[in-house]
Each structure stands twice: as C-alpha cells, then as structure tokens.
Structure 1
C-alpha cells in the first residue's frame, strides 16, 4: 500500500469542462458537489483506501521567514485568483494506477447544472524515503 495526496484545486477562472466558477453555483449545486465528495470518501472508507480529507477555507495568508523578528505576512491567496487549493484527500492504495483511477472519479464531481466539472486533481505520492543524490 502507498499513500497519495489528491490535491483539489478550485479554479476561480473557467478552466474545466463545466466552467462555471463555484462562486456562481446555486446552494443546491454546492450541496450536490459536497454530497458527491462525502459519498466518495465513505466508499473509500469501506474499502480501506481512505485516510483523511479536509476542505480549506478560501482565505489565508502567505508567510516567509524574514531573517529576524516577526516574519512578513501577506494576505492571500484569494478565491478570486485563477487557482486556489480548495482541499485535499489522502488515500492509501495498492498502486499509482489506482490513485489515478480514484482521482478521475473524484474529478467527476457535479458542478453547475449537475454536470461533472472534470476538474484537474494533483496526484502526489508521499515521500517514503530520503532522496539520494547520485553523481
């Protein structure tokens, strides 16, 4: 088994097949979208492939080490940006192919009008050992 992060990106600007930005969805469309994701997670819990997931609030801050004293903080990212990390799911599956298969299913979550949004999901394996440098 190997753990993978499925990183869900919210596209403020149209980028997916169903390209209505989420801030223009009706409450029922948002409820259907969240319901799909919850059902997906419940199915993975039953199969033993689910580890954890969380939606993220659209507000946040950028922080960088400033050398001395308090680090500088900049507001952002903002929901109005072109790309915002909206949430994540950790899965524990038998193979990379299974991780890609599940990401494809999650990408079919409904959006405006109930049509699949076909969003891009980033699939990232967890680092299991320290990388080595070879010359």
Structure 2
C-alpha cells in the first residue's frame, strides 16, 4: 500500500524556527533524515521524498475567470505549511505510522526531538473513495 507522509510546520514561525538552528543542529537534522531515507531505500519502501522550502517559496494558483492562472505569493491557507514529504510503498498502515513517528522524532534546536506533527495519507489504488 502506498502512503504519503507529510511533515507540516507553522508557516508564520518558519523563519524564526529555521534561524534557531545552529550549524550543528542543522547537521543533526540532515543526518536523521538521511538515515531514515537510507533505511527506506534499503527496505525497498522508498518511492519519493523531498524537503521543501519555506512560505516565501510557495505560490498559490487559481484558475481565473478568463482561463489564465491567478497567482499569489504564499500558502493558500494561513496556518501550517508542508515542510517535506515521503512517498512510501509499505506492507501495512502500521509501518507507515512507524515511519511518520521516526520523521517526527527528527532533532530540532539543541538536539531535542522536534515532535512536529506528521500526517499520513493512504493513496488509494483506484479513484478516491469517501
């Protein structure tokens, strides 16, 4: 079963949070995520994944009445922003939840686990069902 695992962070706190990481903290975060990605790859569970930029790199697009895209800077909704994601193909939902917990335990400033919220979305094989 495929799952999308997404890490979300408060959009209005992105710059403050990112500036609170020392160089050592950043290296610990990258090492944690690299180890998780390597584990997923070795297990044959990795499909895709990426860390994303902050709110300043987001564009929101809507179809205009004239058929042309209407583009604005920033996220569509205030609140949280997608900071990164993994697409995994795993044997069970329990495994997807285990991976999400590992992502959430990524060290933050000072090395303390961030415990950031991580969403797990099942990807249906066919059309989405309600």
Query: Which TM-score tier does this pair reach, normalised by the shorter chain?
Result: 0.7 to 0.9
CA contact (8 A) 1:11 1:21 kept: no
After TM superposition, list the pairs within 5 Å mapping 1:19-58 onto structure 2. 21-58=17-54
SS of residue paired to 1:103? helix
Question: Once superposed, which parts of structure 1, at least 4 consecutive aligned residues long, lie more than 6 Å away?
Answer: none
**Partner of 1:66 in structure 2?**
64
**Partner of 1:109 in structure 2?**
106
User: Which runs of no fewer than 5 residues in structure 2 stay unpaired?
Assistant: none
Instruction: State the TM-score, normalized to the length of structure 1.
Output: 0.82
The separation in 1 between residues aligned to 2:35 and 2:125, in whole angstroms, is 29
Aligned length: 125
Larger radius of gyration: 1
Instruction: State the TM-score, normalized to the length of structure 2.
Output: 0.85
The separation in 2 between residues aligned to 1:97 and 1:8, in whole angstroms, is 17
Q: Does the alignment pair 1:5 with 2:4?
A: yes
C-alpha distance 47-132 of structure 1, shift in aligned 2 (>3 A)? closer
Q: CA RMSD in A?
A: 2.2
